[in-house]
């Protein structure tokens, strides 16, 4: 027996994935685990942060962590247990998922800043027997934008682009209310 709310959420995620990446939807296989080096890598986290800032600076969007570019659901269970669990032998998925979600919150706070927390909601979702994380980002309406460090990103199709100089100034003036 699958509760209705779980079943409904699962089918919504599957439906999202079937649409493929777009201006408002992005897939990332992991938060910080790099399979080639078998360890945590900052550059993987930077891709996540750029995408989130770009969604906020554009039309908003959804990032699914634990889904590869082809829409395959690999999940983040292995990463969460390997990198974010104090007790690696624990079989309690909720314990290491808690560490994973705390880490995501910390990198958002340290890179994007607390003032954008109200634009970002994230939750763990069980999908095909593994956990994924759904990050929903609202569109910023006014101000000068959301930055990762001193870099500004926006979405264009299924890509995240960095804007600089006159392109940045022009975008901010057109896109945000003062």
Query: How confident is the model over 106-146, as pLDDT tens digits?
Result: 999 999 999 999 999 999 998 888 999 999 999 999 999 99
Checking DSSP bridges between strand 151-156 and strand 39-40, what pairing results, if any? unpaired
Closest of 94, 93, 120 to residue 109, by C-alpha: 120
pLDDT tens digits along 29-68:
999 999 899 899 999 999 999 999 999 999 999 999 999 9
CA 57/CA 70 separation, integer angstroms: 25
pTM: 0.90
Q: What is the DSSP letter of 140?
A: P
| Cβ contact 55:155 at 8 Å | yes
Q: Which two tokens stand for residue 26?
A: 């992005």
For residue 178, pLDDT beyond 90: no
Cβ(82)–Cβ(99) below 8 Å: no
DSSP 40-94: E-HHHHHHHHHHHHHHHHTT-EEEEETB-TTS-B--SHHHHHHHH-S-TT---HH
């Amino acid at each position: 027996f699958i509760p209705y709310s779980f079943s409904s959420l699962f089918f919504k995620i599957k439906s999202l994935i079937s649409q493929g990446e777009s201006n408002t939807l992005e897939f990332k296989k992991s938060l910080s685990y790099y399979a080639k080096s078998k360890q945590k890598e900052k550059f993987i986290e930077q891709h996540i942060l750029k995408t989130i800032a770009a969604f906020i600076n554009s039309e908003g969007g959804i990032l699914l962590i634990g889904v590869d570019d082809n829409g395959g659901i690999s999940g983040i269970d292995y990463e969460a247990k390997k990198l974010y669990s104090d007790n690696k032998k624990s079989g309690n998925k909720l314990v290491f998922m808690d560490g994973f979600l705390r880490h995501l919150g910390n990198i958002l706070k340290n890179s994007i800043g607390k003032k954008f927390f109200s634009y970002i909601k994230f939750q763990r979702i069980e999908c095909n027997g593994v956990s994924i994380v759904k990050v929903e980002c609202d569109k910023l309406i006014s101000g000068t934008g959301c930055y990762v460090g001193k870099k500004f990103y926006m979405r264009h199709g299924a890509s995240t682009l960095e804007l600089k100089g006159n392109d940045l100034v022009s975008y901010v003036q057109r896109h945000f209310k003062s």
